[in-house]
Structure 1
Amino acid sequence: MFFRKRKPSIKNEADRALMEEIYQVRDRMASQRKLMASFREVDEVTKAQLDLQKALFDFLHREARERHVAGEIVAEMAAISIEQNQ
């Protein structure tokens, strides 16, 4: 009773993985937007890929909000993202 082994909490690890995925999708979406801005005419496949990235980002963002990802994890992942982009 007093000396029970604590089960490892996987929520923080899963939240970090989710936030990593969100930032990766966001970066891919930004790079596709930059690429599309350099084209005169954009084909339908490229537009569809960008729409797919937008939908995936929205889904992952909603998932993070429903899971109540801790603010510390969001701040940590944002700092890592800023360091990588510099």
Structure 2
Amino acid sequence: MFIKKKPQLKTQADRELMTTVYHVRDAMARERALLATFREVDELSQARLALQEGLFDFLYREARTRQVSGDLVKEMAAEQLHQANL
């Protein structure tokens, strides 16, 4: 009788997770490109890159565990691609 629509918490949380995954992936790619230009890489830069790789791996596994829908991944990838082209 008094049925309210339940909020789409999983979809919203999955969207935030995928946004974080894409941000970390882009930061990791920028860091790798920057380190590729150096002749000698210090330990701090290597540690920073390793930390970003670990964070990306964790977030990716979390997305797989949460079984993020393929449609959401496709939508977020298209959005990221569109932002990259701007």
Distance 2:54 2:34 in 1: 19
Report how many residues are paired. 85
Identity %: 55
Hey, what does 1:65 align to over in structure 2?
64
Report the TM-score when normalising by structure 1.
0.95
Report the TM-score when normalising by structure 2.
0.95
- Runs of at least 4 residues off by over 3 Å: none
- The letter for the 2-side match of 1:24 is H
1:43-73: CA deviations, max 9, x gaps? 0000000000000000000000000101111
- The letter for the 2-side match of 1:75 is K
Distance 1:54 1:73 in 2: 23
Distance 1:80 1:6 in 2: 27
Unpaired runs of at least 5, structure 2: none
Hey, what does 1:51 align to over in structure 2?
50
Q: Does 1:13 align with 2:12?
A: yes
Quote how far apart the aligned CAs of 1:3 are. 4.4
Distance 1:30 1:45 in 2: 17
Distance 2:83 2:7 in 1: 29
Unpaired runs of at least 5, structure 1: none
Hey, what does 2:34 align to over in structure 1?
35
RMSD: 0.9
